Amino acid sequence: MLAAACSGGLPAVQVLLGHASAAAAAAIAARTAGAASSSGSSGGAAPAPARRMSTFALANTPLRSGPGGRSSVSGATATVFGATGFVGKYVVNELARNGTQVVCPHRDVEEAAMPLRQMGDLGQIVVLKGWSLGDDDMTRYALSRSNIVVNLIGATYETRNYSFEDVHTTWPAHLARLAKENPLLERFVHVSDVGADPEHPSARMRSKAAGDAAVLAELPGLATVLRPAPVVGDEDDFLNNILAQVKLNALFPLIDGGCQRVQPHHVRDLAEAVTAALATHDSLGKTYYLGGPEVVTLRDLVDLVRSTLNEDEDNTLYVPAALAKAIARPLDALKKRFPPLPTRNYMSTADWVDEISTGKVVPDGVHTYADLDMIPQRITEGMAMEPIRYSRTGGYAHGDTRKLAQKLPHSVKRYYGMAHEFDK
């Protein structure tokens, strides 16, 4: 089990791939075998994987062509709000690979939307530039031909233009009302946060919970809410944030020593969870809490990043939560009055101190990845850590030269006059 203190390092990682995941895997295998046997009894082929658009729980798919896959037309059309964001790119790719036409309204620069166009065949990715939260006419236009709507819009800090309530409460409720006007609408997927709670000390988490409730109330028979734990990937704002503070900052302030527990998972798993939720009517009206197979502390993640970088120096600084909030509050007030800086760090805000205080772990007795017939990958090894390795000093195969020098044979150290420094 996870140690109460943060001194355990990576051995304190609580891996959830034990009996619970084994049981989930067995249940998934049983369901798959049952479906295959029923298909075999009628002479049919085994069912397609859940993420194939042919198995999506949709009625309005009149036009289909092609063998299936990216270079085909499934007959489904999805509008993805937040498509140019970190998670959005993966969701668009996952939908497009099944032959879905994806409409991507955005307010970003053109370069941000260019990668989206390559994710589907000709005409399958429709990019609508110049959209904004307050543009109802363009929002209705983006929704007009879609039977699927995915909302990925969120904010990690407040600005002078948008508050947490604007982005996480008012917007999802308004989008649900506009989507309900569309007679073609069949599915609405809203992505929130695992910590969303109306009683949470964080204003961001309270606004998320209010938005979730508004969506489910507006579309009770069509909406599905996904509440992911911290999401990691090449372009994430979580693990890369830790990387930047370990690599570039003279000091890395860890709130209460980094003892807060989190359950991160990979962005590809979250994107597949969106399509898996669309593949069944069982997900309608439900809320899914999505987290990886490992529960770790922030201190564990910092140590993991340092060891992956081959960095020897520990630049972390213990900062009590009360002191961190006292320092952050006046800075937050200034940030709301000025345009955001490129280097703005949401982990230095007072609301983040409140948000992380309760941890970000999937609670017991809720719908999870297992209910979507999925087993998420670990993030403490493999693909999730690959971007970190490219940030090593001196290149992918190197790291802190002092740490590397310690591994040299004693004879080599003596030859270069380093024995007195490393062999004390």
Q: How far apart are CA 243 and CA 339, in angstroms?
A: 25
Neighbours of 408 (CB within 10 A): 15
Q: Is there a single domain that holds both residue 409 and residue 376?
A: no
| CATH number for the domain harbouring residue 277 | 3.40.50
* Closest to 271 in 3D by CA, of 124, 117, 100: 100
| The pLDDT of residue 62 | 54
Banded model confidence at residue 71, pLDDT cuts 50, 70, 90: confident
Banded model confidence at residue 8, pLDDT cuts 50, 70, 90: very low
Residue 290: inside a domain: yes
Banded model confidence at residue 393, pLDDT cuts 50, 70, 90: confident
Residue 68 has pLDDT above 90, yes or no: no
Q: Is there a single domain that holds both residue 281 and residue 163?
A: yes
Q: Is there a single domain that holds both residue 421 and residue 277?
A: no
Q: Is there a single domain that holds both residue 221 and residue 271?
A: yes
Domain enclosing residue 226, as ranges = 16-47+154-230+260-294+361-381
Residue 286: inside a domain: yes
Residue 254: inside a domain: no
* Closest to 287 in 3D by CA, of 339, 225, 344: 225
For 217-226, letters b (16+ CB in 10 Å) and e give ebbeebbbbb
Q: Is there a single domain that holds both residue 414 and residue 280?
A: no
Using one digit for the tens of pLDDT, what is the confidence trace for 168-212? 999 999 999 999 999 999 999 999 999 999 999 999 999 999 999
Residue 141: inside a domain: no
Q: What is the mean pLDDT of residues 35-55?
A: 42
| The pLDDT of residue 254 | 94
Q: What is the mean pLDDT of residues 229-246?
A: 93
* Closest to 180 in 3D by CA, of 216, 204, 210: 216
Query: Into how many domains does the chain fold?
Result: 2
Q: Is there a single domain that holds both residue 217 and residue 274?
A: yes
Q: What is the mean pLDDT of residues 236-255?
A: 91
Q: Is there a single domain that holds both residue 165 and residue 26?
A: yes
Query: pTM (2 decimals)?
Result: 0.82
Residue 99: inside a domain: no
Q: How far apart are CA 355 and CA 350, in angstroms?
A: 9
Using one digit for the tens of pLDDT, what is the confidence trace for 287-325? 999 999 999 999 999 999 998 988 888 899 999 999 999
Banded model confidence at residue 17, pLDDT cuts 50, 70, 90: very low
Taken in order 166, 189, 194, 214, is the CA torsion positive or negative?
A: positive
Using one digit for the tens of pLDDT, what is the confidence trace for 100-154? 999 999 998 888 999 999 999 888 999 999 999 999 999 999 999 999 999 999 9
